[in-house]
Amino acid sequence: MKLEEAIAWHEIQHPKPGKEFLSIIEISIDKISQNPFTYLFVRIPIRRYVLRKFPYSLYFEIEDDVVRIASVWHHKRDKRK
């Protein structure tokens, strides 16, 4: 799922959750960037960060000291969750 799609879905539900969701995504990306190696691999080279308060995970990889967010997944779409 694209980040824009997830934000749009939450904004349809109510404008406040959409903005809050985006804020939590931004905070989560900051946390990942500060210490990306603390998060476990789900499959090399992909790691996962589980969002708090929303049922989503960020999947990311580290390439040459750059964190690249690969996807944003809703837990109901994730068979492993």
Interaxial angle between packed helices 3-13 and 15-34, expressed in degrees from 0 to 180 and rounded to the nearest 10: 150
Can you give the pLDDT at residue 3?
A: 78
Query: 3-77: which CATH topology?
Result: YaeB-like fold (3.30.2310)
pTM, two decimals, is 0.76
pLDDT top residue among 80 and 9: 9
Can you give the pLDDT at residue 31?
A: 96
* Tens-place pLDDT, residues 8-65: 777 777 666 667 888 999 999 999 999 999 999 999 999 999 998 888 999 999 999 8
Least confident of 9-13, 35-39, 69-73, 77-81: 77-81
Residue 64 · residue 40 · CB < 8 Å:
no
Comparing C-alpha atoms, which of 43, 67, 49, 57 is closest to residue 3?
57
Task: Tell me the domain boundaries of the chain.
Answer: 3-77
Q: Select, from the ranges 2-6, 44-48, 72-76, the one with the highest average predicted confidence (pLDDT).
A: 44-48
In total, the chain counts a number of residues equal to: 81
